[in-house]
Each structure stands twice: as structure tokens, then as C-alpha cells.
A and B are shown apart, each in its own frame.
Chain A
């Protein structure tokens, strides 16, 4: 930046009281940046606020824009989203007024994050679009790529997986063109997520393997472990249970070594699912003990949604051995918990499962009502969940035919 970078904190504090207002503003700005790096958001925020006022007095618009978006970023980090929104919208307006791409880009990025935090995904998606374009224009490829990843996540959450894939692909291309292999591999992993929800496991697996190979080549331990978990998990989703075993065993071991117990438990849940589906009777007791253990871990850690996913596996086992009553009870419990934690996809998916077991129990009316509560449109383009819903609806038709064939002979 400038000479200010080489000054000590003490010298900067001295200069921040200088009679030279120009010097004072720049010193406050440099101190703000240092506090920002140290994640002292509250102090950084005040420093940026003071330098902003001085810059405005001095008509230094570009600097004022920078102080203002940094101020807004601090508010965002302090989770003061409403104030952050106001500040960042203001700095974006300044950027547009003085036609400064840097101010626009660096305001738009955190503004997108703030809008996402305030649950305004549509506006966030739009602002991320502006951030991506402007960062790309500035050849700030890393930032352009990161914003493109964030945009893809929001499309994904909204169930717009095709758009999500397009955003992740754009991120991939941006990272590739900048020679950023790490970012490109990260984008590939996210592309796999969109493909999984589009039901294309084959392509998803190819991208995950590519990403894993890149991280292995770069020797990024944390990412290697994570991608093994992703690989195993995706194999489970694709029904390749035997192939899931090795990567998941590795992920569980490494997550535990790194004391990342939550992810270790999640990887273990996927591993237990694969082992259960491989149907090895000798393992049955061990599997149920391990399932209990990870369930109680999630419960103690307060991770209710993960408790639900463990319970869903138990319900699946009960369904397989035709203990439909017990399975229905678990699904009802999951729906209650999911409602409490406002996890909508979990509610919809569990309702489909509950309807399935109710049809098996012959409680058709109740099952039909539950099916009626699920709106397929909510799933957007999530093919596996749409297929599941379709499967349950087909089961409903089968059951209706069964009833009809019973009634018809009676009528004769």
C-alpha cells in the first residue's frame, strides 16, 4: 500500500492524532486494516468509521469508499447484519457514483453475504452476480471465484440446481484461468453437489475424484480427508456401498486424529449406512452399537439435525424388516424435531418416508393426507427426492389396486 505499512502501531496511533488530517485519515485506515487482520472487528469498525468521516471531509472518494466497505464488512463480521446492509448499500452507491470498480466489487461481495444472512437469497444472488462480474473485470480472480461459489450455494438451497451448477462451473473456469488449482478443485467439489441433487452420480463422482487427485498432488491434508468423506458419501448415495467403505474408513480415522469429532461422526454414519446395506449379518450387533454411539455423540453436541439422520437410518432398518409401526413412530419423531429446528427438506423427506410405511400398514387415508402435505415444487430440481416422492405415490396406486381387487369379488 504505502509508507504506513512499515510504521509500528505506536507510530500510527501517534499520527492518528496528528494535525495533518490527511495523515490522520491514512493512519486510522492502516490501523483499521491491522485490527481487521487480527479479527478485532469492533475496534476495526470504529477506526474505519473515523477514517471514512475524514476522507469525506477531504473529498477523497475512492478512499472513503474503501473505508466504508471495510466498515460494512466489520459490521457483517460482528453479525450486525441490518447495520452492515445499510453501510454496504451506501458504499456500493458511492462506488457507482464515482464509477470505481474496486469499491463496487468489494462492497457487492460482503453485501451478498449480508443479504444471504438476512435470508434474502434472491437479492443476494443478484448482488453476487454484480460482484462476480466486477471482480472478473478487475482480474481479482480469487474473489470472483469465491463469490461465484457463494452464488451457487444459494441457487442450490433454492432447489435451482442447474443454475447452481452453472455458477460453480463459472467459479471453476475463473479459478482455472487464474491458475488457481486449489480453487478449481474446490469448485469441482461444489459442482459435484449440484450434480448429486440433479441425480447424476456418475459425473459427480468423476469431479470428486478429480478434486481429490488435485488436493493429493498439492498435499493439502485437510482437503484430502474431506474429499475422501465426500467420495464415500457420494458412493453411498449412488448405491456403491462396497466402494464407499475404504474412503469413509480413512475419513473417520483422520477426522478423529484431527479431533474433528462432528465430521468423524458424520463420516461414520455414512460408513455404517454402507455396511448395513452390504447386509453382512455378522456385523449387525457391532453396527447397531456404533450407531447408538454416534447418535449419543450428536445429541450431546446439540446437533439435532444429525440425530435425525441417524434415526432415519434406524427407521430404514425397521422398514426393511417390516416393523412398520416402529418405523412410523421414528419418522413422526424426526418430523417433530425437524419442525422445531426448521429444517424443511428434512420434514418433506421424512413425510414421504412416513407415508410409505403407513401405506404398508394399510393406513391409506392417513398416508394420503401426509403425501398431500408435500409440494413437489418445493424440491425444485432435486431429482433423487422427486424420485422418492414418485416412488411413494406409485406405492399408493399399488395399494389402491390391491383394495380394488378385494372389493371387486365381494361385489359380484
Chain B
């Protein structure tokens, strides 16, 4: 028979999860480009 499960939604209110602080954004860009730069990834793969 049909099991009518009550599920949780998949979406959030933006404010729960984003940072819009312009300065933090700069910091995050720096942080991310240090770890997630494709060149870094490539180097890692070569190693």
C-alpha cells in the first residue's frame, strides 16, 4: 500500500547559510583560492 511518508523539505532560508559580509567574502575568496584552485588540485593529483 502507499506509504505516505512525511518528509522534510530540501530548502533553507538564505540567511541561515550565507555570508554577505563583503569583507568576509574577500577573505573567503582568498581562503578558497588557496585550497580550491584548479592548479592546486592538479599539483595534488600529480603528486
Contact = CB atoms under 8 A, between A and B. Distances in A.
The reply to whether chain A is a binding partner of chain B is: yes
A49 interface: no
Nearest to A77: B21
Nearest to A309: B8
Contacts of A106: 22
B36 A146 contact: no
B4 A353 contact: yes
Interface string A317-360: 00110000000000000100000000001100110110010000
B31 to A, nearest CB: 9
Contact of B10 (A124, A147, A193, A308): A193
B25 A350 contact: no
B32 A353 contact: no
Interface string B1-41: 01111111111111101111111110111001101111101
Given A113-B14, A142-B29, A153-B13, A349 B6 contact: yes
Contact of B20 (A113, A180, A395): A113
A356 B6 CA distance: 12
Contacts of A69: 22
Given A73-B22, A157-B11, A197-B10, A182 B4 contact: no
B4 to A, nearest CB: 4
A116 B2 contact: no
B5 A312 contact: yes
Interface residues of B, number: 35
B38 A312 contact: no
A116 B14 CA distance: 7
A36 B15 contact: no
B2 A181 contact: no
B11 A181 contact: no
Interface stretch (A20-28, A254-262, A292-300, A384-392): A384-392
A392 B2 contact: yes
A181 B35 CA distance: 9
A150 interface: yes
A124 B21 CA distance: 17
Interface in A92-118: 106, 109-110, 112-113, 116-117
A156 interface: yes
Nearest to A385: B7
Contacts, number: 127
Contact of A309 (B6, B10, B15): B6
A180 B10 CA distance: 24
Contacts of A218: 35-36, 41
Contacts of B3: 316, 319-320
Interface string A75-86: 011000000000
A353 B6 contact: yes
A142 B25 contact: yes
A346 B7 CA distance: 8
A179 B19 contact: no
Contacts of B12: 153, 157
Nearest to B11: A156
Contact of B41 (A36, A181, A193): A181
Interface string A234-254: 000100000000000000000
A156 B10 contact: yes
A142 B17 CA distance: 15
B6 A334 contact: yes
A352 B4 contact: yes
Contacts of A154: 13-14
Contacts of A117: 13, 15
Nearest to A234: B10
A218 B35 CA distance: 8
Contacts of B33: 179-180
7 contacts: A116-B13, A149-B18, A182-B35, A334-B6, A349-B4, A350-B6, A391-B2
Interface of A: 33, 36-37, 69-70, 73, 76-77, 106, 109-110, 112-113, 116-117, 124, 140, 142-143, 146-147, 149-150, 153-154, 156-157, 164, 179-183, 193-194, 196-197, 217-218, 237, 273, 305, 308-309, 312-313, 315-316, 319-320, 334, 345-346, 349-350, 352-353, 356, 384-385, 388, 391-392, 395
